Amino acid sequence: MSTKIISSSQPQMTDLDQPLYTPIKRRSFFMYAGATAGATALILAGCSKSDSEPGIVSLGSGNLGVLNYAYALEQLEAAFYAQVVKTPATDFQTGELTYFTQVAMHEAIHRDFLKAAIINVAKATPIMDLTPNFSSITFTSRASVLGAAKAFEDLGVAAYNGAGKLISVTDPNGATYLTVAGKIVSVEARHAAYIRDLITPGSFAADDQVDATTGLDKSMTPVDVIMTAQTYITQKLDASSVGK
Amino acid sequence: MDFFQILSDIEKVDADVYARFDTRRRVFKHMGGLGKKITAATLPAVLSTMFTKAYGQTTALPQIIVDTLNLALSLEYLEFYFYSQGVTSGLFTGNDLNAITIIRDDEQGHINALKGVLQSAAIADPTALAYDYTAGGNLTPFASPAMFLATSQGFVDTGVRAYKGGAVNLMGNKDILTAALNIHSVEARHSSHIRSMRRGYSTGVANTNGTTIAGLDGGGAGDALPKSWLSLQENGGPKPTKTVANTAGPAGGPLTAAVYAAGTDATKYPADDNVMQSTVNVQSNTTPPTGLTVTAAAASEAFDEPLDAAAVKAIARNFITALGVSKGLFS
């Protein structure tokens, strides 16, 4: 992890020719996610020194890494919802396009805010504009769109929840970043709850997301979140130094 | 360097390695995902152990953390007893009763989690008798489902803002901060669902399961058709014109408008119609999707605002009895 070739303060794309995504890693993630015994070796492969490979967009380290991480996720969400609004599902029910139109706006606002915050507050260079890969989503299908929206929103909630502790307080802006992350995550949770209700009525805080015993939502590490998000992003992202 | 490989190697000679690391919870998650040692049946016990290990030294908790968590705990009790009465009130049936029950159980979980962190520093259970959900006779939450949900919306939105405002106080303890964030987002999920249910009852439909149209704001006094998220200042919330003369509350203040208004320091805790985030005007800063316009309402909706402890307490003091006052709740 110490052999970074991309400056963490200047995240950038280095080699566009590099294969974007290798099958072994995707498979390892799904085995991991599917609670399959014996997947340990593959998980470890998925967590290996990928940041030493060329052709990777590093999210950077420290608080800038956290901001870029959030910016990457909001880029993904904003692009998704913009596409939903542009090509609505043919079987959307009454009012659902209204919902998606409003959420598309929220996510565009998040995306552009984070970019501005990285430039104006963190005085740094944000990561590049990412290219979405939504080939696994059927935008004409309500079920496909709702399923993807649920995945993005729950992932976003877990990502922000897990990122809070990665924000360094030694940075004078640390408290500001945490507060802003808190302002965004609850909006994502509101979206997530509503989308869940649309898919499975009454599942706004279902046991697969909110622990039935503790009432706690999920939180995820940047590496785990990016492993999932990577499916929908053309560029390969490296989140291994986020918050470090 | 591969952290998990190292851990895996160490485990071969030291089975307790995970217990020796602060990051045990994260490791546990991976182990759980693999279905190895921890099953759903043993999860509560494991979680309890983790809390004890992570937060066992209560005396070492800084006062700011104790105060922040105890305020959260007293708000959780306020919500828990409210939903408990909602469950037994007979107001709800079917899906809506299920939803109120889920929320009550989540609040119970939050109480347990916070007590687990605070241990002996936790406030005593104030009991239901400490809370007055009519706010001195100004509200009738148990008169109808719509009234119950309106009151509920005020509580849960206050809760979301309170956790958000308290988060910065917890930055010194990463585990506690994460636990608080994991509660915070659940409160936001509750708020979303309560608002959806409210829309249903406002149009005369029970058991909508939260699936009534989310993006249409009815507006008007009381905003009986709220969006599933906070928009502007919610027209002052369910009961904007009701004022209270509660001795412990803000004298003559509006009852629910305070839930969406600015906190004690309007710069740090702006009202919910705020569009300035950090130094960025998020309305003018945004490039909207093709054909759309960024309204002030949308800009306000994209961010929920925090509320400071003093403002939260002022709202909550409207809902305590003489017993609650004697117990020092929200003082």
Residue A54's alpha-carbon distances to A17, A125, A198, B159, B265, in angstroms, are 9, 20, 42, 46, 48
Closest to B102 measured CA to CA, from B225, B209, B176, B230 = B209
pLDDT score of A145 more than 70:
yes
Cβ–Cβ gap B189/A106 under 8 Å? no
What 3-state DSSP class applies to A237? strand
| Predicted local distance difference test score (pLDDT) of residue A12 | 46
Nearest-CA residue of chain A relative to B305?
A183
Residue A109 one-letter amino acid: I
**Residues of chain B positioned with their CB less than 8 A from the CB of A78:** 289
Q: What is the value of pTM for the model shown? A: 0.82
Residue B307's alpha-carbon distances to A70, A159, B40, in angstroms, are 23, 23, 36
Closest to B191 measured CA to CA, from B221, B147, B160 = B160
CA A17/CA A19 separation, integer angstroms: 6
CA B299/CA B7 separation, integer angstroms: 45
Which residue shows structure tokens 């959260």? Answer: B72
Which residue shows structure tokens 């303060």? Answer: A9
Distance from the A18 Cα atom to the nearest Cα atom in chain B, whole angstroms: 23
Cβ–Cβ gap B181/A160 under 8 Å? yes
What 3-state DSSP class applies to A212? coil
β-strands B253-254, B243-244 pairing: antiparallel
Per-residue DSSP letters for A88-146? Answer: --TTPPTTHHHHHHHHHHHHHHHHHHHHHHHHHTS-SPPPPPP-B--TT--TT-HHHHH
| Predicted local distance difference test score (pLDDT) of residue A20 | 40
Which residues 6+ apart lie within 8 Å of B54 measured at CB? Answer: B22, B24, B25, B175
Let me know: does A42 contact A34? Beta carbons within 8 Å: no
Q: Which fold has domain B60-248+308-331?
A: Ferritin (1.20.1260)
Nearest-CA residue of chain A relative to B292?
A105
Domains of chain A: 62-236 (1.20.1260.10)
The residue that leads in pLDDT, A240 or A6, is A240
Let me know: does A230 contact A21? Beta carbons within 8 Å: yes
Cβ–Cβ gap A214/B109 under 8 Å? yes
* Angle at CA of residue B193, ends B188 and B199, nearest 5°: 130
**Residues of chain A positioned with their CB less than 8 A from the CB of B301:** 102, 106, 187
CB pairs under 8 A between A and B: 276
CA B156/CA B99 separation, integer angstroms: 14
Domain boundaries, chain B: 1-55, 60-248+308-331, 270-305
Enumerate the β-bridge partners of residue B254.
Answer: B243
- A11 band by pLDDT with thresholds 50, 70 and 90: very low
pLDDT, mean of each 10-residue run, chain B (331 residues)? 45 48 43 41 47 52 96 98 98 96 97 95 97 89 93 95 97 96 98 94 84 74 83 79 49 70 93 95 96 95 96 92 94 91
Three-state secondary structure string covering chain B: CCHHHHHHHHHHHCCCHHHHCCCHHHHHHHHHHCCCCCCCCCHHHHHHHHHHHHHCCHHHCCHHHHHHHHHHHHHHHHHHHHHHHHHHCCCCCHHHHHHHHHHHHHHHHHHHHHHHHHHHHCCCCCCHHHECCCCCCCCCCCCCHHHHHHHHHHHHHHHHHHHHHHHHHHCCCHHHHHHHHHHHHHHHHHHHHHHHHHHHHHCCCCCCCCCCCCCCCCCCCCCCCCCCCCCCCHHHCCCCCCEECCCCCCCCEECCHHHHCCCCCCCCCCCCCCCEECCEECCCCCCCCCCCCCCHHHHHHCCCCCCCHHHHHHHHHHHECHHHHHCCCCC
Sign of CA dihedral B53, B57, B58, B61: negative
Mutate to test the interface with B, among A84, A102, A157, A211 (most CBs of B within 10 A): A102
| Predicted local distance difference test score (pLDDT) of residue B202 | 83
Structure tokens at B253: 């203040």
Q: Which helix (H) or strand (E) holds A58?
A: strand A56-58
Span A146-203, pLDDT tens digits: 999 999 999 999 999 999 999 999 999 999 999 999 999 999 999 999 999 999 999 9
pLDDT score of A10 more than 90:
no
What 3-state DSSP class applies to A195? helix
| Predicted local distance difference test score (pLDDT) of residue A72 | 98
First-to-last CA distance in chain B? Answer: 51
Q: Which helix (H) or strand (E) holds A238?
A: strand A236-238
Structure tokens at B119: 């241990």
Cβ–Cβ gap B302/A187 under 8 Å? yes
- A219 band by pLDDT with thresholds 50, 70 and 90: very high
